[in-house]
Amino acid sequence: MITKDYKDGKTITFSKPLDSRAKMLYAFYFLSFFAAAAFFFYLLLTVHDLGIGAIILIIIFNVAFCIAAFRFINKAFMREELFINKKELQLINQSILLENTRSYDITKISNFRHLNKPQLSKHPLAGETFDYLGFQTEQKVISEMHGDNRLAFDYESKTITFGENIYSWEFEELQILLYDITGNDFRYTDEFEKTFKSKE
């Protein structure tokens, strides 16, 4: 997690291109699908006695592999940032060709929390002393790609999740940083705030 001053607030970088094992795996998948697409394209150009059905099938496979390759390389080079000032919080996702920015009014943010990654159970086919067949390793990678260790907050009856592999101590540092900038403690729920205000 990298913090920098930007304009009237701060930018926090959660992830950069190829900065995790999961993203390296995405890059490997890109190479695999790109090679498959190149192979089918080579067949289309060099084999001259193909029927119409075979040509259509090769084109369909080629397009599908190209789409899959683009999606994987897009994930491998994904960059995720948060911008915060006294008025709004922005979540910024940047990839090779796309950039998506979501803006949130800080007065409507509540229940800011850390989503812990569940304890990973041992794969039933993994070896007792050594993972000979790679089942446990594969399960760990899948857990890293799709597990939690993310952040979330409630906004207008919706749950907004973001971040990748954010640990609890980083979440605590982020809470302090957000409070210093905005003066708001986003951990409180709407119910807590209503109860607190009613007692004043």
Alpha carbon distance 200, 97 (integer Å): 51
**Where exactly are the structural domains of the chain?**
23-76, 89-199
pLDDT range class, residue 141, cuts 50, 70, 90: low
SS3 123: coil
Indicate the range of 65-69, 78-82, 107-111, 122-126 predicted with least confidence.
122-126
Dump strand ranges (E) for the chain: 2-6, 9-15, 79-84, 88-94, 99-105, 109-115, 150-155, 158-162
Percent of the chain with pLDDT over 90: 32
Q: Based on the number of CB atoms within 10 Å of its own CB, is 175 exposed (0-12), middle (13-18) or buried (19 or more)?
A: middle
Is the pLDDT confidence value at 66 over 60? yes
Is the pLDDT confidence value at 169 over 80? yes
pLDDT at 40: 86
Nearest to 20 by CA among 68, 80, 60, 109: 80
pLDDT at 22: 82
